[in-house]
Structure 1
Amino acid sequence: MYFPEGLMLDPNHPQVSTLSLFGYMITILSWEFELGLAALLIFSNKKPGFATLSLLLILSGSMTVFLIVRGKRDFARLRFTKGRIELSGIQATMVTVFVVLFGGTLGLIAMNIVNQ
């Protein structure tokens, strides 16, 4: 096959926007906090306030609705992608920090429940 000089074939390297990825991770973390506070309310002597639980539930719910709308657009754009979706360096760093925060938060919630 002959390609004229200067013609570059752009391989299919789809990416998710950093803002969308950040939003997805923060939403997951907020739901983790919500479920952790509910677990503390049920299993612990320390009772988080009703206002705290309500505010976090409103925040988590509104972020979820926003990201459902945004996610439909992201997934529609990536629908015909074959193979993996590459992350930029900053996105990979964000995912790493998120995984560490997620695990650490789960550990702290479990320790608070056990120590009560």
Structure 2
Amino acid sequence: MADLKLDDAAMAELVGGQRDVFTAACVDQLSGLHGPKGKPCPARPWVCLLCPLAVFAPRHAVNLLRLKAFFSRQWQQMPAGQFMAVFGPYATRIQQVLDRFDPALLTEAAAHVGNEDEELPLRPEESTA
């Protein structure tokens, strides 16, 4: 809490889900790490995986698994070098995040993953279809 300069109210918002974005909770969405300060972060959902402001909780497991499935679909349609250049660090990190969760939770969360692009907030050019 001290390292992130969070007060009790901000911590309660993180724990309570009020600061959730697609794959994580964000310590400060208006901090400007990936966009102008004072504006909501414009980063793509996978960018949170490497962001120091992201906090991953078990409630994010379904969306993290959806994102992992997206990476799998991208891997199947992109040349390996291109995939690694674009998604490699995120694909590695997502497994590290998921490894922290209880396997039973991941099994339950996986039942809610349809492995379709519609499950993700994608731009048209990011589609795997």
TM-score (norm 1): 0.37
Greater radius of gyration (CA): 1
Which structure is richer in relative contact order (CA contacts within 8 A, separation 6 or more)? 1
**Structure 1 or 2: larger helix share?**
1
TM-score (norm 2): 0.34
